[in-house]
Amino acid sequence: DIVLTQSPTTLSVTPGETVSLSCRASHSIGTNLHWYQQKTNESPRLLIKYASQSISGIPSRFSASGSGTDFTLNINNVEFDDVSSYFCQQTQSWPTFGAGTKLELK
């Protein structure tokens, strides 16, 4: 299985800050990497597909980049509504997910 390692585990930020979340794959996965947002007691929502492609209806403050083994999700001007866990997922082989980064507000 391809293992995805996300860092940091928890991120505490001030509204208005810009943050970067990391996802590292144990093997090269090209751009078959997707990002999801999951709020407490809700199901995951697709944020970004294929490493950097935007999703209709997702605010433009969410962007992402990367290929191969290193990927980054950026959130510009963090808002209260962004308090969530963020998961990366690879679909290069059988789907696996990272353990997630929990975004908290200071």
Partner 1 sequence: EVQLVESGGGLVKPGSSLKLSCVASGFTFSSYGMHWIRQAPKKGLEWIALIYYDSSNKYYADSVKGRFTISRDNSKNTLYLEMNSLRSEDTAMYYCAKSRGMRAPFDYWGQGVMVTVSS
Binds partner 1 by CB under 8 A, chosen from 64, 71, 75, 98: 98
Q: Is 9 in the site for partner 1 (CB under 8 A)?
A: no
Contact 60, 67 (CB under 8 A): no
Tell which residue, 69, 8, 62, 56, has the closest CA to residue 37: 62
Contact 33, 46 (CB under 8 A): no
Give the footprint of partner 1 on residues 57-86 (CB under 8 A). none
Contact 59, 84 (CB under 8 A): no
- Determine the interface stretch with partner 1 among 20-28, 61-69, 73-81, 90-98 (rule: CB under 8 A): 90-98
Residue numbers at the binding site for partner 1 (CB under 8 A): 32, 34, 36, 42-46, 49-50, 55, 87, 89, 91-92, 94-100
